A and B are shown apart, each in its own frame.
Chain A
Amino acid sequence: MELIINGETQVCEAATLAELLHVLEYEGDWLATAVNGDLVHREDRAGHRLDDGDRIEILSPMQGG
């Protein structure tokens, strides 16, 4: 299925958000995730099933002012 991950369309077969992070090799407990504009808490990622066309944001800490 096609997912829009951080603004880029990618083909990926991950069933859940947690699986997607694993497939994309994201690691660490400092990531925040949202699907279709809604926050998905860290503990809910394993149970959050993905659908074709979902918009996924994966953010992490960066320098800012």
Chain B
Amino acid sequence: MLSLYDAELSSRLLLGTARYPSPAVLAEAVNRSGAEIVTVSLRRETAGGKMGGAFFELIRQLAVHVLPNTAGCHSASEAILTAKMAREVFGTDWIKLEVIGHHDSLQPDVFELVEAARILCAEGFCVFPYTTDDLVVGEKLVSVGCQVLMPWCSPIGSAAGPRNPSALAAMRSAFPDIPLIVDAGIGRPSHAATVMEFGYDAVLLNTAVAVAGDPPAMAEAFGKAIEAGRLAYLSGMLEPRDMAVPSTPVVGKGVFA
């Protein structure tokens, strides 16, 4: 089981809810993936609340944990207000804290992130910080009260997969008791399996499922890949080496010449 704040979870996949071709496809993808946590956002709307209401009802019917996000925020103050508004709407202390610092890479502004996390943790929020793979930032986030870290493996939506495996491995070693969730950059089930083989606790992704040709099937593929990667990590993997090693015993082989 995976423990994230006050929740015990069977699934190690967290799914975003954006960019699906229809609400029905979103619902089917969540169901087939086995995900027990979905991320949602808050936005201005002009339809008198009706669009948001319909979406909210869909999410309620999924009967999963809701992880609201502060996507698009560029300062601590903006993210803090968004988090408070999300708590008002969704009735949860959970918040996926995003504070974007760079326009092109959507890299987190880690200075504003730590400050926002400090204030939100002090106000009782369960903060899931979207961060870089920087150990020092991770330590700061833990020191202000974050009980989960969510490093990127490559830029949001890039589908580039783990670009810096050694940094992700270093994070795993540095935070053996903190749940680590790779958030952002996962493009393929093999990417998800790879980071799970590194010993990560879970994977959060959205676009790779939502824009797939068959999102529910891809969601299921990710669910299986994550399970496979986790099982492999727990099973103890063979370390790679440069030279061949025969897998069949040499002793007792027939002599034909």
Q: Which residues of A contact B (CB under 8 A)?
A: 6-7, 24-28, 30-34, 37-39, 41-42, 57-65
Contact = CB atoms under 8 A, between A and B. Distances in A.
Contact of A61 (B20, B52, B71, B207): B52
Contact of A63 (B41, B53, B77): B41
A42 B56 contact: no
Interface size class of B (residues with CB under 8 A): 35 or more
Contacts of B77: 37
A64 B95 CA distance: 13
A25 B44 contact: no
Contact of A64 (B46, B71, B205): B71
Nearest to A27: B49
B40 interface: yes
A39 B50 contact: no
Given A30-B89, A37-B81, A39-B88, A62 B48 contact: no
Q: Counting chain A CB atoms within 10 Å of each CB, which of B16, B55, B71, B86 scores highest? A: B55
B154 interface: no
Nearest to B53: A28
A27 B156 CA distance: 34
Contacts of B41: 61-65
B44 A61 contact: no
